[in-house]
Amino acid sequence: MSDFAASSRFMRIVDRRADPPGRGAVNRERFIRRFKDEIKRAVDEEIGKRGIADIGKGGRISIPGRGLKEPYLHHDSKTGSRDFVLPGNHEYLPGDMIDRPDGGEGDGQGNEPGEGESRDNFAFVLSRDEFLSLFFDDLELPNLERTRLADVSFVTTRRGGYSRDGVLANLSPALTMRMSIARRIALRGGIASRIEELEEERHESHEAGRRAEIDDEVTVLKDRSEKLPFLEEIDRRFRALQPVPAPATRAVMLCLMDVSGSMDERKKDLAKRFFALLYLFLERKYGAVDVVFIRHTETAQEVDEKTFFHDPQSGGTLVMPALELAHKVIEERYAGNDWNVYIAQASDGDCGDEDAQRCAGYLQTELLPRVRYFAYVDIPSANSGGWFARPSDLWQCYEPIGAASFAKRKVHDRRDIWPVFRELFARKEAAA
Amino acid sequence: MNPWDLAGLDAPARRRASSPRERPWPRLVSRPAVPMPVPGVTRALEPIATGTEWTVPLLERFDVALSAHARRLHLETFPVQYEVITAAQMIDLCSTVGMPVHYPHWSFGKHLLGQEHTYKKGVSGLAYEIVINTSPSLVYLMETNTLPLQVLVMAHAAYGHNAFFKSNYLFHQFTQPDGILDYLTFARNFILDCEQRYGWREVERVLDVCHALAPYGVDRYKKPAKLSASRERERLAERLRFAQHHYNPDVAYLYENAAAKQGPELEEFEPQENLLYFIEKRAPKLAPWQRELVRIVRKISQYFYPQRLTKVANEGAATFWHYTLLHELYDHGQVDDGFMLEWLSNHSDVVTQPSFDDQRYRGINPYALGFAIFRDIRRICEQPTDEDREWFPRLAGTNWVESVHFAMANFKDESLIEQYLSPKVMRDVRLFLLADEESDRSKYAVRAIHNEQGYSRVRQTLAAQYRPEVQTPPLAVTRFSADSDRALLMQHRVERGRLLDADAATEILAFIKELWQFDVVLEEIDDAGNRLKIHRT
């Protein structure tokens, strides 16, 4: 410590490690904002290369370096003459001639500002959040408008203002004390003016009786003024809660899949990818999303994810039980206005005509009013193309449904999934 | 005698070398001699610390020890504030040239992302240290560094750079270390405010242009006015008051400049090198807030101007001082051998100079060159050879501390090399001079090497390489007409036939036009006054 005293120098060590991220984040965001188009294109390209299961990860992307060049004035190295000094001479003597390297290597100006800009591409790493927000940038939740405007059904509370009653935990001591002081000042003021009045009267009065009376009263008043209670019930103030309407923020996604014999691995894989995409999308919008897996053959069953995708089943196909089960699940667990219910159904649509008819009817009367969105993905067999291809039974029966919250698309191939998904959830043009 | 140190043998050998064609290097061994500090000082019984773990109290004790040695060696420094940061924060800082406050801009984000990417891939490490010219001087210590590395950074930045900032004449003349952070805060707030009012696209457009022109926003000879955030705020407040009264900000600008314009303004127009200054004052169609943006970039560019002139000198001095101070610690027994080996390995990475044909070659390493020069100054003072006496008669044998301080205080890169680059350093680094002649583009001609006939030429050319004109071709506004077509005429003085890169020139002109809003013409003029080329927007 003694040498500390000897040093008159000012010195301080500050630990900044716990500081919140600052300018770095801001500048990063500026960069992404500025080159949004290029970056988005790169993100889309990247997605084309990735499996859908990996889409949720951040990643390295690169964008063309042209646009983000920061130009600076410099000489054209092909003109004029110049002398320059280099280090590391091994063998040359004055008068020697050296072949000029092509790439500008060994050029005395190698350390010009902005090196690295001549590279064709600028590569960098996007975080998961940045990646996803670009990935979903022109997708919008279906019917978000309605959620925002009409269906503001969910009430939450927020702190706001003060009230006279509440639970003790919410007591606001500062305000309570202020009220107590105010009350005491107000009451003392009244007493003081009354005392003043009485004393004046006593001064003017000549009756001994009246004066004694006044004296008594003054004593009482003074006593009362001194004994004003420090805190009274009416002083207490509590922090209050205000009800605030809020859009429903919880979401559940029901995945319905046909696992009958006709659904081969390829179809299941396509369905899975679609579900994964939907899940990512919802998760991004809502934070946490509940997922319910319902598989069906002739009967419907609620299962866990692994069984859903990997447990082989065989049998015929009935779609109706699955819809009924979905309805039951919604009624039991996800009823109420604070739930956003999404249903994604994947099937090869290969069910009986009668069943399909019933399904369409049930969908329209029972399910659609309860869900935010119902997407049907039709996955035809790989060899079903050609002249004689006809739409599946389910597809045909779903055809006339015109509700805004219903959509159906065909997916033939892995490549189709992203465009189909995009189309289904494309941002609706603002109602102009 | 140190078998590697051939400096003694070298002088007679040099005299014998009569023919310029005689190859000088068989007698030279490239391993440089290390001048170990003088033994014979009392050593502490225990080192301050062993091992590689650091703690804050340990750093404090090391700072005390370093400051004692620094005082003995007459290092004058600004007060220091050490900040312990994470690697991510270091990347942040690097992206804004080490400034803890800066206005937001995408180009900083670009550097950030680029750096982060290469760092994560492991292509490049992070800067060991950044220190900026502020008072108190901010020195950043990365948490991942080992103890020896932390002490190295402390000695390098908090003592080396800090002393350089405090003593060098350029920093004296051009910067106010106590005002810069305040000014940057003001700048950031102003720019954020502009983004609110006028939209970020507009603001970014102006800033992009200004950043490209920042090298031309500098008064090279005139001492700039003091930076003062409060004065800037007052100026803006005054303008705002006027604008509120008259409800036309453009008129306000004219009004504000009316006093200045009453002088003999329309007379002879002097060529103006400070392009941003010129644009700020004269651009016909800029809105007042845009002028303010130009001004901010100009001021900041001016602040960093000395840094650009003193890369070699600054880094060389700092490296020299960390080397010296850490050896002092060792000589006094305050650190052990393991400590020395640890930091020396980092040190030698920093001062590596790959030769020109090496893949790693990225130009001359300012750390290496500067360190070699400063260390050689000490060697010349302490153990001069005959050659040194001949080349540096007034330096050889003097007090090295004073001589090093003199060299730190009074030179920029160009003059430091011109004055102090010794034949020994040229031999060690094997500098040689090439000419790239217009007449023969397929070959470079070797003009001089590190021998008796070549020393002076190599030294002069190397010094000239550090002139700012070499990095940024000089421009000057030579004419503009306020009333006719309002075209702006600029000139580039061509040296030895070196023209501007046509693409870059076109881009820059387009940028200038964004601000000037009328035609911009750039002429390239040779010494005789012939016009060699014209670039137009």
Smallest CA–CA separation between B458 and chain A, in Å?
7
Helices (H) and strands (E) in chain A, counts: 13, 13
- Tens digit of pLDDT for each residue in A125-168? 887 777 767 766 655 444 444 443 334 456 677 888 888 888 88
Window B:360-389, CB contacts with A under 8 Å: 361-364
Kindly tell me the sign of the dihedral angle through the C-alpha atoms of A366, A370, A374, A380.
negative
- What mean pLDDT, rounded, does chain B reach? 81
Chain A contact for B47 (CB, 8 A cutoff): no
Query: What is the enclosing helix (H) or strand (E) of B405?
Result: helix B400-410
Cis peptide before B423 (omega within 30 of 0): no
Residue from A1, A10, A11 to probe the interface with B (highest B Cβ count within 10 Å): A11
Sign of the torsion formed by the C-alpha atoms of B72, B74, B79 and B82: negative
Q: Which residue in A has a C-alpha nearest to residue B497's C-alpha?
A: A80
Backbone angles phi, psi at B192, to 5 degrees: -65, -40
Point out which residues pair with A339 in neighbouring strands. A250
Most confident of A116-120, B99-103, B405-409: B405-409
Cross-chain Cβ contact B110/A68 below 8 Å? yes
The region of weakest confidence among B119-123, B315-319, B477-481 is B119-123
**Residues 91-130 (A) with a CB less than 8 A from some CB of B:** 92-100, 105-106, 108-113, 115-116, 122-125
Q: Report which of residues B197 and A430 the model is more confident about.
A: B197
Residue type, A360: A
pLDDT at B124: 59
β pairing state of B520-525 and B137-142: unpaired
For residue B369, is pLDDT > 90? yes
Instruction: Output the furthest CA–CA distance in chain A (Å, rounded).
Output: 135
Q: Is the pLDDT of residue A60 over 90?
A: no
Residue A81 pLDDT > 90, yes or no?
A: no
**Residue with more model confidence, B127 or B100:** B100
Q: What is the mean pLDDT of residues B266-279?
A: 77
Average of per-residue pLDDT values in chain A: 76
What was the pLDDT predicted at B197? Answer: 87
Within an 8 Å CB–CB cutoff, is residue A390 touching chain B? Answer: no
Chain A residue nearest residue B505, CA to CA: A73
Question: Is B109's CB within 8 Å of A70's CB?
Answer: no
Exposure b/e, A57-93, CB count within 10 A at least 16 = b: eebebbbebeebebbbbbbbeebbebbbbbbbbeebb
Q: Where are the beta strands (DSSP E) in A78-212?
A: 82-86, 97-99, 121-126, 154-163
| pLDDT for B316 | 92
Helix and strand numbers (H, E) in chain B are 23, 9
What value of ipTM does the predicted structure carry? 0.78
pLDDT at residue number A111: 38
Q: Would you state the pLDDT for residue A53?
A: 54
Q: Which of B105, B432, B453 should be substituted to probe chain A, the one whose Cβ sees the most A Cβ atoms within 10 Å?
A: B432
> Averaged over A289-313, what is the pLDDT?
81
pLDDT of residue A110: 38
Hey, what are B293's tokens? 């943006």
Q: If we measure between CA atoms, which residue out of A58, A63, A60 comes closest to residue A36? A: A63
pLDDT score recorded for residue A96: 85
Answer yes or no: is pLDDT of B372 > 90.
yes
Superfamily of domain A247-425: von Willebrand factor, type A domain (3.40.50.410)
For the segment A71-99, the average pLDDT, to the nearest whole number, is: 85
Q: pTM, whole model, 2 decimals? A: 0.68
Q: Average pLDDT of B299-307?
A: 88
Taking contacts as CB-CB distances below 8 angstroms, the residues of chain A near B445 are 95-98
Tell which A residues from 134 to 153 touch B, by Cβ distance under 8 Å.
Answer: none
Is A89 touching B (CB cutoff 8 A)?
yes
The arrangement of strands across the sheet holding B531-536 comes to B475-480, B488-493, B520-525, B531-536
| Cβ-based contacts under 8 A for chains A and B | 285
Q: How far apart are CA A205 and CA A213, in angstroms?
A: 11
Beta strand B488-493 with B475-480: parallel, antiparallel or unpaired?
A: antiparallel
- State whether B361 and A113 contact (CB < 8 Å): no
Among A17-21, B314-318, B469-473, the range scoring the smallest mean pLDDT is A17-21
Structure confidence at residue B13 as a pLDDT band (50, 70, 90)? very low
Has residue A3 got a pLDDT over 50?
A: no
Query: How confident is the model at residue B219, as a pLDDT?
Result: 81
Task: Pick from A1-10, A301-310, A414-423 the range whose average pLDDT is largest.
Answer: A301-310
Residue with the bigger pLDDT between B52 and B157: it is: B157
CA-wise closest residue to B15 among B387, B377, B365: B387
Which of these, B78, B81, B102, B80, lies nearest to B92 by C-alpha position? B102
B231-265: per-residue pLDDT in tens?
787 887 877 776 666 655 565 566 566 555 544 44
Residue of B71, B112, B162 to mutate, testing the A interface (most A Cβ within 10 Å of its Cβ): B112
What is the Cα–Cα distance from B354 to B297, expressed in whole angstroms? Answer: 36
Q: Compute the Cα dihedral for B327, B331, B337, B338 and give only its sign.
A: negative
Portion 399-458 of B in contact with A at CB < 8 A: 429-438, 441-450, 453-454, 458
Determine whether the interchain pair B83/A79 forms a contact, defined as Cβ–Cβ distance below 8 Å. no
Fill in the DSSP letter of residue A53: G
pLDDT digits (tens, 9 = 90+) for B381-421: 988 999 999 999 888 888 999 999 999 999 999 999 999 99
pLDDT at B195 over 70: yes
> Nearest CA to CA, how far is A145 from chain B (Å)?
27
Spatial contact of A13 and B56, defined as CB atoms under 8 Å apart: yes
Please name the residue of chain A whose CA is at the shortest distance from the CA of residue B213: A72
Predicted pLDDT at A113? 35
Closest by Cα among A313, A337, A392, A328 to A366: A328
pLDDT band at B380 (very low <50, low <70, confident <90, very high): very high
| pLDDT cut 70: percent of chain A above it | 78
* pLDDT value of residue B403: 92
Contact between B148 and B52 under an 8 Å Cβ cutoff? The reply is yes
- Closest by CA to A76, choosing from B516, B478, B535, B210, is B535
Structural tokens at position A176:
């309570």
Contact indicator for A313, A295 with CB cutoff of 8 Å: yes
* Nearest residue to B135 via CA among B188, B185, B179, B99: B179
